[in-house]
Amino acid sequence: MADHPPGVPQGPTGSAPADEEPLAGITVEDVREAHKLLSGVSRATAMEGSRYLSGLVGAPVHLKCENLQRTGSFKIRGAYVRIARLSAQERAAGVVAASAGNHAQGVALAASLLGVRSTVFMPVGAPLPKVAATREYGAEVRLHGHVVDETLAAAQEYARQTGAVFIHPFDHRDIIAGQGTVGLEILEQCPEVRTVVVGVGGGGLAAGIALAVKSLRPDVKVVGVQAAAAACYPPSLAAGRPVAVEPLTTMADGIKVGRPGDVPFGIVNALVDEVRTVSEDELSSALLLCLERAKLVVEPAGASPVAALLSAPRSFEGPVVAVLSGGNVDPLLMQRILRHGMAAAGRYLSLRLRLTDRPGALANLLGILSVVDANVLDVGHVRTDPRLGLTEVEVELHLETKGPVHCTEVRDALREAGYDVVAD
């Protein structure tokens, strides 16, 4: 967890005054103008209550469902405002963007709605559904590079060669003003809110929400959340300036950013009360909870605020609004994440154990699992490993279980029956 760093000018409620330089000249009036501009374009997404999370937190918890926004995420807000404010000459040159998913779709739709030609560079390995959706929204898609940095460089080179306007995903005042409209809707839909929790990548959404909320309700806390494997804000806040980190692999690719944007960083530094980090297990558990309890399909980055609530539920003052920033998740990735989430929640158990290779041995093993009510999903046999004895076989089991206590019961039952559990 990274609290607000020392040395930043503080107002009486822990936030910098709205007219100071760190806010990059953006005011709540800019956000209001963006809100007018988005009328009839973006949706005022639903605010859904969560009884389960409310019980954990001990106060009302509401989910701001930007996963139900057009293009499946909040990105259409900032992209539309940015492109709409281009000059006629700039529009004629077209726009270009680089993204693996949500920003790509937001730019593609916004440009189509405004009659502007768009080119979107995406990594070669981008999920096929996201590539197809970006094309369907009207963009010319070019696949380039295997990591986002390579894709970004290609898009910027294209802008230099063609004169197309590069639409940055978060580091521009118009983008931030557009994303800030989420904050205006939160205050309108839940006027009693005390804490807003939002995922943070480059910082555009968090900066916009913090600017809107703190300008109108400085008593409301704004808490940012990053994946622990890709957390560039904690060291940056500690240093008082954007610091680049090497992001590791995380399922939350929507907030996997190596360096905060210069413009959003100043706002986050001044107005966001704290930035927390969550683990991969917490992210997958949050995604599973959104699906099972709230009946909402949410991508890992969008579920990060829920992950923070699950990790330390009693540390948030309610009522709480958690922003579900997006719902664009590849079905194959969803399958893997759900399995990971089930394992983290004690609902899925993998075991390897050794038994004597004789007729009936496997049937006896499965009989024990039946007694403890563990559902067998998959069984694998290994007979040729040099570590095995001549009459031994190693069996790998994938089981559906009912929680951590049940997992312990399964292991204990197998050990009591004399089985050597090699690993789980």
What are the E-state strand segments in 101-158? 118-122, 140-143
Please tell me the distance from the alpha carbon of residue 157 to that of residue 291, in angstroms, as a whole number.
Answer: 40
Report the distance separating Cα 290 and Cα 58, nearest Å: 18
Cα–Cα distance measured from residue 270 to residue 210, given in angstroms and rounded to the nearest whole number? 9
Are the C-beta atoms of residues 213 and 224 closer than 8 Å to each other?
no
Report the catalytic residues. 75, 325
CA distances from 268 to 259, 308, 414 (A): 13, 18, 52
Specify which residues 195 forms β-bridges with: 221, 320
Around Cβ 73, how many Cβ atoms within 10 Å? 26
- Cα separation of 123 and 331, whole Å? 18
The Cβ of residue 157 has, within 10 Å, a number of other Cβ atoms equal to 13
DSSP designation for 326: B
Q: 């005022």: which residue's tokens?
A: 44
Residue 71 is encoded by which pair of tokens?
């293009």
- Maximum CA extent, the chain: 79
Q: What are phi and psi of 73, to 5 degrees?
A: -160, 175
393: left (phi over 0), alpha (psi -120 to 50) or beta: beta
- CA Rg, the chain, in Å? 24
403 exposure class (CB count in 10 Å sphere: 0-12, 13-18, 19+): exposed
User: How far is the C-alpha of 401 from the C-alpha of 345, rounded, in Å?
Assistant: 10
